[in-house]
């Protein structure tokens, strides 16, 4: 777990980097929401080391199911969680949505930060209805993803815009990121990436039955290197609730 001043802590499975502190408002909204609940149940999808989501949620009084692809991440998460709260933590290894499953009406909140852009259209079509099913009525999902305006994908932006004009359903799928980006970050991520604007993300959630409470662009974290920055629209977040 060596920290990079430019990126953060590298993941063990080439799924980018994670930060040691929470740097986006949607993650802060998540923590603020659960702090006002009594012993909430939380699912953290793509928790990685859990530094900004699972562990703060535990400290806030939640029962947390921390999911990740890599057991190395979850082992670190467990080692860093407060010992007296380990009985509130459940580790869940597996790829969302194919490899994990939970009972209906199970969670007060689901958090999924910077994970959706690793999923293809068919995985998202399978996965968002599962989020809806797993939430309790009134429960909320907090999700973030990168947008086509992130600086390192500026060469892909015209392709994205042309696809959107052509009414292509999923215009943000990039099958080979190296065609558009020669930044060193490509070695830290899979070849496939999937970017979103707020209107497309909102449509996905509304289709399933969610009530969208907040959706919009937000800027990449202040510590990001200049190549990642653009005009403050580098990322997209959404808060959606399951109706009572």
Instruction: Describe the crossing of helices 121-134 and 198-208 by its angle, rounded to 10 degrees.
Output: 50
Q: For residue 176, is it within any domain?
A: no
Domain count, the chain: 1
d(CA 50, CA 61): 15
3-state secondary structure 176-220: CHHHCCCCHHHHHCCCCEECCCHHHHHHHHHHHCCEEEEEEEECC
Residue 21: what pLDDT? 57
124 lies in a domain?
A: yes
Question: In this structure, is the dihedral angle defined by the CA atoms of residues 207, 192, 23 and 95, taken in order, positive or negative?
Answer: positive
Strands (E), the chain: 9-10, 17-18, 41-45, 63-68, 89-93, 107-113, 135-146, 173-174, 193-194, 211-218, 235-241
Q: State residue 187's pLDDT score.
A: 65
| Three-state DSSP state, 86 | helix
Residue-number span of the structural domain to which 231 is assigned? 9-148+194-241
What pLDDT is recorded for position 94?
Answer: 97
Is 203 within a domain? Answer: yes
Cα 32 to chain centroid distance, Å, stands at 17
> Is 172 inside a domain boundary?
no
* Torsional class of 74: left (φ above 0), alpha (ψ -120 to 50), beta (otherwise): alpha
The DSSP output letter for 47 is -
| In-domain check, residue 102 | yes
Evaluate whether residue 181 is within a structural domain: no
Q: What sign results for the dihedral spanned by CA atoms 235, 221, 6, 72?
A: negative
**CA 129 – CA 211 distance, rounded (Å):** 13
Whole-model pTM: value is 0.90
Residue 11 pLDDT: 52
pLDDT value of position 171 = 98
Domain-located, residue 155: no
Query: Residue 223: what pLDDT?
Result: 75
Averages of pLDDT over each 10 residues, the chain, 244 residues:
43 50 83 96 96 95 97 95 98 98 98 96 98 98 97 95 97 93 74 96 98 97 83 96 98
Check which CATH number belongs to the domain holding 217 and give it: 3.40.50.150
pLDDT at 9: 52
Specify if 187 maps to a domain: no
């Amino acid at each position: 777990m060596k920290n990079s001043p430019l990126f953060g802590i590298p993941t063990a499975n080439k799924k980018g980097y994670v930060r040691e502190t929470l740097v986006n408002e949607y993650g802060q909204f998540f923590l603020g929401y659960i702090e006002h609940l009594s012993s909430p149940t939380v699912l953290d999808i793509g928790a990685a080391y859990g530094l900004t989501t699972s562990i703060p949620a535990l400290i806030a009084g939640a029962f947390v199911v921390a999911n990740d692809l890599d057991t190395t991440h979850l082992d670190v998460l467990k080692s860093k969680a407060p010992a007296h709260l380990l009985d509130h933590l459940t580790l869940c290894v597996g790829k969302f949505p194919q490899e994990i499953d939970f009972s209906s009406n199970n969670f007060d909140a689901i958090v999924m930060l910077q994970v959706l852009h690793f999923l293809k259209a068919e995985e998202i079509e399978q996965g968002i209805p599962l989020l809806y099913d797993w939430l309790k009525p009134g429960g909320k999902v907090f999700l973030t993803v990168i947008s086509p305006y992130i600086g390192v994908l500026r060469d892909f932006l015209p392709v994205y815009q042309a696809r959107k004009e052509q009414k292509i359903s999923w215009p943000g799928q990039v099958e080979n990121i190296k065609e558009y980006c020669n930044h060193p970050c490509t070695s830290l991520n899979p070849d496939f990436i999937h970017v979103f604007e707020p209107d497309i993300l909102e449509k996905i959630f509304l289709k399933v039955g969610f009530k969208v409470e907040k959706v919009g662009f937000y800027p990449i974290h202040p510590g990001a290197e200049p190549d990642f920055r653009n005009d403050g629209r580098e990322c997209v977040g959404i808060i959606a609730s399951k109706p009572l």
